[in-house]
Amino acid sequence: MSDAVQSLVDDLRAEAERDRPTEETPEVGIVMGSDSDLPVMDGAYDALTELGFEEVTDDDDPPEARFTFETYVVSAHRTPNLMYAYAETARERGLDVLIAGAGGKSADLPNMTASIAYPLPVIGVPVQEKSVSSVIGMPTGAPLVAVDAGKSFNAALSAVQVLARAHPELETRLEAYHEALQDGVGTVSRELHERGTATFRASRK
* DSSP secondary structure of 176-205: HHHHHHHHHHHHHHHHHHHH-HHHHHHHT-
Report whether 91 belongs to an annotated binding site. no
Residue 134's H or E segment, with its range, is helix 132-136
Please, what is the end-to-end C-alpha distance for the chain in angstroms? 53
Report whether 61 belongs to an annotated binding site. no
State how far the Cα of 161 lies from the Cα of 173, in Å rounded to an integer. Answer: 10
State how far the Cα of 61 lies from the Cα of 204, in Å rounded to an integer. Answer: 45
Report whether 108 belongs to an annotated binding site. no
In the chain, the largest separation of any two C-alpha atoms, in whole Å, equals 64
Binding-site residue set for substrate: 34, 37, 78
Which residues are known binding-site members?
A: 34, 37, 78
